[in-house]
Structures are given as structure tokens and as C-alpha cells.
């Protein structure tokens, strides 16, 4: 397994943000490169994917609540 260093400009302030490295398979890096936009850093891409996953999870939760929970109209409160 190779280690790649991901650089980010996300959240840059006067001080540089702390950076770290993560290990992943070369195939995973290639997949990230293929779905990322031109000039998009791996950090930006991973953050975007996390945000999408969070939104999808929240949407699924709301749909489950709508299907399983009983709602009372505001007029009846």
C-alpha cells in the first residue's frame, strides 16, 4: 500500500492548516482522481464526498421518520 500526501487550501488562514497523510490503495487514488474536478485537491474531493454522504444519510433519516412516525397537524395542537 502506498502513502499519498493530500494538500488542501480549504480553510486556509494566516497559519497553515495541519496536514496529515493517509494510506490507500493505488486503485482508490485513481478512482478519486477520476471523479474529482480539474484543480480540485484530494482534500476538497474527500470533504465533498463526506458532505454528500451526510446529506444522503440525513435524507434517509427524514424519509424513515415520514414513513414510520405519526404526525399531528399544527391545527390540532
Q: Which residue has the higher pLDDT, 13 or 27?
A: 27
Cell of 76: 390540532
pLDDT digits (tens, 9 = 90+) for 17-61: 788 899 999 999 999 999 999 999 999 999 999 999 999 999 998
Q: Is residue 12 pLDDT above 50, yes or no?
A: no
The CA-based diameter of the chain, rounded to the nearest angstrom, is 61
Tell me whether residue 58 is in a domain.
yes
More confident residue, 20 or 70: 20
Domain span holding position 38:
2-69
Lookup: cell for 73: 397537524
- Please state, in angstroms and rounded to a whole number, the distance separating the CA atoms of residues 58 and 35: 23
- Asked if residue 76 belongs to a domain, the reply is no
The whole-number average pLDDT for the span 53-76 is 86
Q: Rounded to whole angstroms, how far apart are CA atoms 33 and 29? A: 6
| 74 occurs within a structural domain | no
Whether 51 is in a domain gets the answer yes
The rounded distance, in Å, linking the Cα atoms of 63 and 60 is 5
Q: Is the pLDDT of residue 9 over 60?
A: no
Per the structure, how many domains does the chain have? 1
Distance between CA 6 and CA 36 in Å, rounded?
13
* 9 within domain boundaries: yes
Amino acid at each position: 500500500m502506498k502513502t499519498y500526501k493530500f494538500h488542501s487550501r480549504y480553510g486556509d488562514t494566516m497559519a497553515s492548516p495541519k496536514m496529515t497523510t493517509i494510506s490507500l490503495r493505488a486503485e482508490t487514488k485513481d478512482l478519486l482522481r477520476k471523479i474529482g474536478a480539474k484543480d480540485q485537491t484530494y482534500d476538497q474531493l474527500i470533504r465533498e464526498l463526506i458532505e454528500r454522504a451526510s446529506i444522503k444519510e440525513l435524507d434517509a433519516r427524514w424519509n424513515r421518520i415520514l414513513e414510520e412516525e405519526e404526525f399531528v397537524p399544527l391545527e390540532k395542537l
